[in-house]
Structure 1
Amino acid sequence: MSLNEVVSEKTNGLLSSERLFRDVPQGLQNYMAIIYLIIWYISSGATLFSNKYILSSLNGDVFSLGMNQLLLSIITSFIQMQIMKKISTQIHKTSPNIKNIFQDMLYIGAFRCITVVLGLLALKYIVVSFVATIKASSPLFTVVISRILIGEKIGHWTYFSMIPITIGLALCSSFELSFNILGFLCALGTIFFECLQNVYSKILISGERYRYTAVELQFWASLVASIFQLPILCYNVDILSAINSTSSILFLLYIFNGISYHIQSFAAYAVMAYISPITHSVANTVKRALLIWLSVLIFKNQVTFLSGLGTLTVIFGVVLYNEARDIEKKVGISNNSVNDTSPIITHRHKLLAEPEIEALIKEAEQGRVKNYDQAIKLDQIFERRPST
């Protein structure tokens, strides 16, 4: 049953939160979420290995590569937005003003800028498998950040499932450990700011004032991130000299890398619309395990018993995580449990003005409510009860 059908069947003008949570396609059971997940995995591999090849084999510059990724992401996102507007003329969506956009994107743009630069620096100094090993702790970071910023509640078994995932991914690459203090610190910084970016992206995608689509989020986040990164680029790189010294092969790889980076980021945001930040982090961790195995095949590293054991441990952790989340939903702890008193929620999700409330009600009557979070808000509006 679609959400439109749920809305049209509401009795006495009321929306049932329980029915919506049961009937609306949620999580990775939705086929579109699976498609986006596969695209995300493939494009991530293309971006990661082209990053490593450009930086290590062609002696590419970290800051030039990072700016190239953001610029191509801006261009491709803009083209995608225009195409979507033309083929979706029947959808009437109010656009936010520029002031609100930059308020929303200030943090996520800064997080993206830092994540791009630190991630490329980490790849320059340490091997791919070790970067993935360090990033294995991202689910733990996300659990803590999600709890603090958006009040997402999880149980003890979900916390426990983080342990085998992290240990398993560490085992996957234990045979190829190399250590560089700068690369290690950059990788740790990448994890932290990537988790912040994912959590805040979830807030923007599920926003009440304005719900950004994945491509809108990609465009505006990349634009703001490029503004932050431009002074860093000018300080560290002689731009004219870098342009003149760029070979045709490097130029083509820059284009390929930028497009794959855009697809990777867009697909990651699209997946985020279906799942919680913690589930997104676990999916990201599984992706890293697969990339470690691919790096072993591409760079022809020796496969050890520990790598196989690590992969099985990661799979066990993911299965345990899914089972834990199912159990928690049955006892009332769900991916959509949000504490309205958490700092960012209090700051961003203020009470809607009366015209905005009426607009939401009109959207519900026309069957244009698209996700659980908005449906819950509408349920509260229809029943005229305070948020809990």
Structure 2
Amino acid sequence: MFFFLGLFGCWFFGVQSFNLVPKLIKSFIVALLGPALFHTIGHISACVSFSKVAVSFTHVIKSAEPVFSVVFSSALGDSYPLSVWLSILPIVMGCSLAAVTEVSFNLGGLWGAMISNVGFVLRNIYSKKSLQNFKQVNGLNLCGWITILSFVYLFPVAVFVEGSQWVAGYHKAIATVGTPSTFYLWVMISGVFYHLYNQSSYQALDDISPLTFSVGNTMKRVVVIVSSVIVFRNPVRPLNALGSAIAILGTFLYSQASSKKKAAVEKKD
């Protein structure tokens, strides 16, 4: 919600170009229905995982997203060089080791992170297939539209599933943080930073090389995991830390292998 509110603000003030041809809006929205649905599934399941296990563990499992990407894309006809397939082995090994040694391990949290991976991979695949005729829409605007449709999907489900718990949950949250003003402040801060994270990520892709971006993206996951351990004081066993490191290294190797594959394809074209 905060993301597309922020994007609306960027559109309104001209910070971000609203580069969508009006006559294509109806067909564009139809093309977005599938990607937005998988985007919604990905975010919901990630939040479920965060609520059941340590934040660091969820991010370790989410580092396995390339594995799902390779498997699903291959099933749909794409081919990958041996280097890509080899790069996903340390991801699988690292995630497995981290899961076995995770202190806060919970099956629901594990499945939530895994389903989140599937949701985001299918979002990416179907975005590529269904939005080929809308290349005039840049990445940031595309993410904004997907988020808006995700809100449309999620709101009635949220009302039906948790609507009766909203008031009690609100009061419980206020009691946890202390005062209503503190609660609203944290919600606003988290929303603003989430929007800035998404916007900076999409804008960075236009200004830096894929290699630099993949290095930064890998370091982002390291920072998130380490920061969550420090802030939440989650106990981490040596083997758990080793598994996390192996999984993150595998993610980095996958980024390099897949970027070389993309460069080779573009050169061929």
Name the residue aligned to 2:177.
none
Question: Cα RMSD over matched residues?
Answer: 3.8
Distance in 1 (alpha carbons) for counterparts of 2:128 and 2:196: 18
Amino acid at match of 1:212: V
Cα distance in 2 for partners of 1:92, 1:233 equals: 31
Per the alignment, residue 70 of structure 2 pairs with: 143
Identity %: 26
Partner of 2:225: 292
- Report whether the alignment pairs 1:216 with 2:141: yes
The superposition leaves residues 34-63 of structure 1 with CA deviations (integer Å, 9 ceiling, x where unpaired) of xxxxxxxxxxxxxxxxxxxxxxxxxxxxxx
Query: Against the structure 1 CA distance between its residues 312 and 249, is the aligned structure 2 distance closer, same or farther, given a 3 Å change threshold?
Result: closer
**How far apart in 1 are the matches of 2:247 and 2:123?**
24
Among 20, 24, 43, the alignment partner of 1:97 is: 24
Report the residue type matching 2:115 in the other structure: G
Deviations 1:245-266 (A, max 9, x none): 4522222211112222222333
TM-fit CA distance, 1:147: 3.3
2:157 maps to 232
The 5 A counterparts of 1:135-174 are 135-149=62-76, 151-171=77-97
| Secondary structure class of the residue paired with 1:178 | coil
CA contact under 8 A between 2:19 and 2:138: conserved in structure 1?
Answer: no
Of structures 1 and 2, the larger Rg is shown by: 1
Q: CA deviation at 1:99?
A: 0.6
Q: Provide the residue aligned with 1:193 in structure 2.
A: 119
CA contact (8 A) 2:214 2:255 kept: no
Deviations 1:266-318 (A, max 9, x none): 34444667888xx9899756643442222222233455543554465356535
Select the residue among 105, 109, 113 that pairs with 2:40: 113
1:133 aligns with 2:63: no
Q: Distance in 1 between matches of 2:248 and 2:135?
A: 37
Any gaps of 5 or more consecutive residues in structure 2?
Answer: 175-179
Deviation, structure 1 residue 80: 1.2
Conserved? CA contact 1:218–1:266, under 8 Å: no
C-alpha distance in structure 2 between counterparts of 1:230 and 1:291, whole Å:
28
- The whole-number CA distance in structure 2 between the counterparts of 1:181 and 1:131 is 12
1:286 and 1:191, CA in 2 relative to 1: closer, same or farther beyond 3 A? farther
User: Aligned partners of 1:143, 1:152: CA distance in 2, in Å?
Assistant: 9
Match of 2:190 among 220, 236, 257: 257
Q: TM-score, normalised by structure 1?
A: 0.55
Deviations 1:131-180 (A, max 9, x none): 2233232111011233345x543211211011123433554676533333
Question: How much has 1:102 moved relative to structure 2?
Answer: 1.0
Deviations 1:86-107 (A, max 9, x none): x87xx98744532122112211
Deviations 1:304-361 (A, max 9, x none): 54355446535653564466457xx5xxx53574xxxxxxxxxxxxxxxxxxxxxxxx
Q: Please give the alpha-carbon distance, in whole angstroms, between the structure 2 residues aligned to 1:284 and 1:269.
A: 12
Partner of 1:180: 106
Does 2:266 correspond to 1:266? no
TM-score if structure 2 supplies the norm length?
Answer: 0.75
Match of 1:162, SS state, is helix
Alignment map for 1:1-388 (pairs within 5 Å): 71-84=1-14, 94-149=21-76, 151-171=77-97, 175-202=101-128, 207-235=132-160, 236-238=162-164, 241=167, 245=171, 247-270=180-203, 287-302=220-235, 304-307=237-240, 309-310=242-243, 313-314=246-247, 316-317=249-250, 320-321=253-254, 324=257, 329=260, 333-334=261-262, 337=265
Q: Which gives a bigger RCO, structure 1 or 2 (Cα 8 Å, sep 6+)? A: 2
Residues 243 and 219 (structure 1), Cα distance of their counterparts in 2 relative to 1, 3 Å cut: farther
CA gap of 1:234–1:160, structure 2 versus 1, over 3 A, is: same
**Structure 1: which amino acid aligns with 2:6?**
T
Paired residue type of 2:225: I
Contact 2:20 2:137 in 1 (8 A): no
Distance 1:219 1:203 in 2: 18
Query: Greater helix share, 1 or 2?
Result: 2
State the secondary structure of the residue aligned to 2:262. coil
Q: Which amino acid aligns with 1:168?
A: G
